[in-house]
């Protein structure tokens, strides 16, 4: 009799364990499906924005597809873009990473666009956004943030620049389109950082301090790009997580080299 009861209890525990495991697997599958759906919606949303407000934009689905973006190849209708998305301050397009072609938002709070699309709706992909400390994309030092998404979207592609061969195989440049014109930038440093890095300090007491900061950035690069920089340069950094789990940062820093 006791043996029969023990067997029944064992069967109940086994059934319960199977149910728990099954529910855990189902929850995991639902989470993955929700993430994939979120990625797809974010990509579709940005494609719609590009189609509606830009011309001659290359929107490849996978990294490496399509020809590198040509300097000044994009036309952005900022009047229409800002009428729909008032916080849109610029449009960023990378020469060597044609998949990175997005509006750059700017809000008074750095957390606002962290998990929001340009229209303010929730999005795990978030938006590219300039630091709240910046007043304009022409500030001496501008910092732009973007997520490292698992599907390779947003700023995930920037990790390619940790490879010196990748940098040297392309132009090492990107374009920032603004309501006031087109601004070209040349990358001069690529480095890993943490939240305490001087790269995230945007205030400088004088030009000399700014110049010293730039030399520190250049010296900390993973490799020597051969691009000189000085306190007279206007500089822009692109920051993303070094891993999809959010550990560490990768920062690509460039200087203004001209515009239209």
pLDDT tens over the chain, length 260 residues: 556 555 666 667 667 766 666 656 655 544 444 555 566 787 888 999 999 999 874 444 434 434 566 666 789 999 999 999 999 999 999 999 999 999 999 999 999 999 999 999 999 999 999 999 999 999 999 999 999 999 999 999 999 999 999 999 999 999 999 999 999 999 999 999 998 999 999 889 899 999 999 999 999 999 999 999 999 999 999 999 998 777 899 999 999 999 76
| Tokens (6 digits) for 156 | 């995930």
The owner of tokens 């789990």 is 245
Q: Nearest to residue 69, comparing CAs of 33, 23, 91, 100? A: 100
Give the burial class of 170: count Cβ atoms within 10 A of its Cβ; 0-12 exposed, 13-18 middle, 19 or more buried. Answer: middle
Q: What is the pTM of this model?
A: 0.82
Q: What's the DSSP call for residue 147?
A: -
Give the Cα separation of 170 and 71 in Å (integer): 12
Q: Nearest to residue 96, comparing CAs of 180, 190, 178, 181? A: 190
| Sign of the alpha-carbon dihedral angle for 42, 95, 156, 216 | negative
> Contact at 8 Å (CB) between 186 and 223?
no
Q: What are phi and psi of 118, to 5 degrees?
A: -55, -25
| Tokens (6 digits) for 234 | 């206007």
**C-alpha neighbours within 13 Å on the C-beta side of residue 174:** 26
């Amino acid at each position: 009799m006791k043996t029969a009861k023990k067997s029944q209890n064992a069967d109940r525990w086994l059934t319960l364990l199977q149910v728990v495991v099954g529910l855990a697997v189902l929850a995991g599958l639902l989470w993955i499906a929700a993430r994939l759906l979120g990625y797809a919606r974010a990509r579709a949303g940005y494609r719609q924005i590009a189609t509606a407000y830009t011309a001659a934009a290359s929107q490849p689905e996978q990294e490496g597809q399509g020809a590198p973006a040509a300097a000044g190849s994009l036309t952005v209708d900022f009047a229409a873009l800002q009428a729909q998305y008032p916080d849109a301050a610029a449009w960023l397009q990378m020469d060597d990473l044609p998949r990175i072609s997005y509006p750059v938002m700017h809000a008074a709070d750095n957390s606002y666009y962290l998990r929001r699309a340009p229209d303010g709706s929730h999005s795990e992909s978030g938006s590219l956004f300039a630091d709240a400390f910046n007043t304009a994309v022409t500030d001496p030092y501008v910092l732009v943030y973007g997520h490292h998404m698992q599907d390779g979207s947003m700023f995930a592609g920037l990790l390619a620049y940790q490879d010196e061969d990748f940098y040297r195989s392309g132009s090492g440049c990107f374009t920032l389109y603004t309501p006031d014109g087109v601004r070209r930038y040349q990358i001069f440093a690529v480095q890993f950082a943490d939240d305490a890095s001087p790269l995230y300090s945007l205030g400088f007491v004088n030009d000399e301090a700014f110049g010293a900061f730039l030399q520190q950035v250049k010296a900390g690069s993973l490799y020597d790009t051969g691009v000189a920089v000085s306190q007279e340069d206007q500089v822009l950094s692109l920051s993303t997580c070094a891993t999809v789990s959010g550990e560490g940062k990768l920062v690509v820093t460039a200087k203004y080299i001209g515009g239209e």
